[in-house]
Amino acid sequence: KQEVTQIPAALSVPEGENLVLNCSFTDSAIYNLQWFRQDPGKGLTSLLLIQSSQREQTSGRLNASLDKSSGRSTLYIAASQPGDSATYLCAVRPREYGNKLVFGAGTILRVKS
């Protein structure tokens, strides 16, 4: 059964720092991996989608990498801002389950001004 783990569970950094969020998964047979952002009490906003054949995706200050063989993904946030404060979730789409996603528990990020 696919399991997704995110480390750290919470992170607090000063504004301007570059930071890395980690996601690991137990089964490398996936279609893709997706990073989401969730603000308190709100829904999920998709940040980046990495196909299983890709190594990384970039959007603005965000860069996500995927190493499928080792079951790892990282989300790199450059020059963090207070507006980046949110919970970040990663989710994989396992080949075993077709169209379903398996989520990690998330990393709560706080960027202090």
Partner 1 sequence: DVKVTQSSRYLVKRTGEKVFLECVQDMDHENMFWYRQDPGLGLRLIYFSYDVKMKEKGDIPEGYSVSREKKERFSLILESASTNQTSMYLCASSFHGTGGASYTFGSGTRLTVV
What is the binding site for partner 1 (CB under 8 A)? 31-32, 34, 36, 41-46, 49, 51-52, 89, 91, 93, 95, 98-101, 103-106
Least separation in angstroms between residue 66's CB and partner 1 is 12
Between 34 and 80, CB nearer to partner 1? 34
Between 50 and 111, CB nearer to partner 1? 50
Least separation in angstroms between residue 31's CB and partner 1 is 6
Between 24 and 32, CB nearer to partner 1? 32
Between 71 and 104, CB nearer to partner 1? 104
Least separation in angstroms between residue 34's CB and partner 1 is 6
Contact 15, 111 (CB under 8 A): yes
Least separation in angstroms between residue 60's CB and partner 1 is 17
3-class DSSP string for 1-56? CCCEEEECCEEEEECCCCEEEEEEECCCCEEEEEEEEECCCCCEEEEEEEECCCCE
CA-wise closest residue to 6 among 83, 107, 76: 107
CA dihedral 33, 87, 24, 102 (to 10 degrees): -50
